Amino acid sequence: MFFSAKLIFPVFAAFSIAATAFASPAVAPVGVADIAKRQSTDVVNDLQSFQSTVTPLIDQLSQAAATGSNTDSSFNQLTSAFTDSTNHFKGKKPGVIADVDVVIVVDVVVDIVLKLVVVISKFPLLDVFLNGKVDVFLSAWLSALEVLHPGIGPKVGKGIPTAGLSIFALLKLVLSAKVLAIVDILGIVVL
């Protein structure tokens, strides 16, 4: 017979070794929960990085307002930073912020929003154009975060102290107040 047992057994043994070696994964597969946690951590890191970028810009705007110097450059940089961050977060997968990271996200967002609103309140109330621009880019940014974790806007709204809420009402930041679900608290008339 052409195929002998001496030839067939070694061939089967070689194929079984090769099949085992090539079919075995070198690294254990990453679970869906691990991927979601990593994405949530990425969002938190991105948000904290944004905070470290925006805080000096807000400080520059505050100093410019206090000294009465030109604020156009600082304000344009701040607007650009918020717009870039909004676009960055819009590119993320919806619902990516894990429940365990919500507290961190809310704390960072409340800090950024309060610093921004306090600085804007230092400008004359008649500067409606400035207030309108801030309301537009702030509400867009908050809306992008709302997509990443539905319900985070109202949680941020609850995290803002009463003094901060009164500034929202004074500046008539209606779009941002809607995202934060604080329109009823403020008594702002929304058309």
The tens place of each residue's pLDDT in the chain, 191 residues long, gives: 555 555 555 555 555 555 554 444 544 444 444 444 555 577 888 899 999 999 999 999 888 878 877 788 888 999 999 999 999 988 888 877 777 788 888 999 999 999 999 998 888 765 778 888 999 999 999 999 988 888 889 999 999 888 888 888 888 888 888 888 887 766 655 54
Q: In this structure, is residue 152 part of a structural domain?
A: yes
The verdict on residue 21 lying in a domain is no
In total, how many domains does the chain have?
A: 1
Cα–Cα dist 94/72, whole Å: 34
Residue 129 lies in a domain: yes
**Structural domain containing residue 115:** 33-186
How high is the pLDDT of residue 33?
Answer: 46
* Residue 19, in any domain of the structure: no
The confidence score (pLDDT) of residue 190 equals 52
- Establish if 14 belongs to a structural domain: no
Q: Could you tell me if residue 9 is inside a domain?
A: no
Is residue 90, in this structure, part of any structural domain at all? yes
Alpha-carbon distance of 42 to 89, in angstroms, equals 11
pLDDT for residue 81 = 95
Whether 10 is covered by a domain: the verdict is: no
104 closest CA partner among 47, 179, 162, 38: 47
Q: What is the pLDDT of residue 38?
A: 58
Q: What is the pLDDT of residue 138?
A: 94
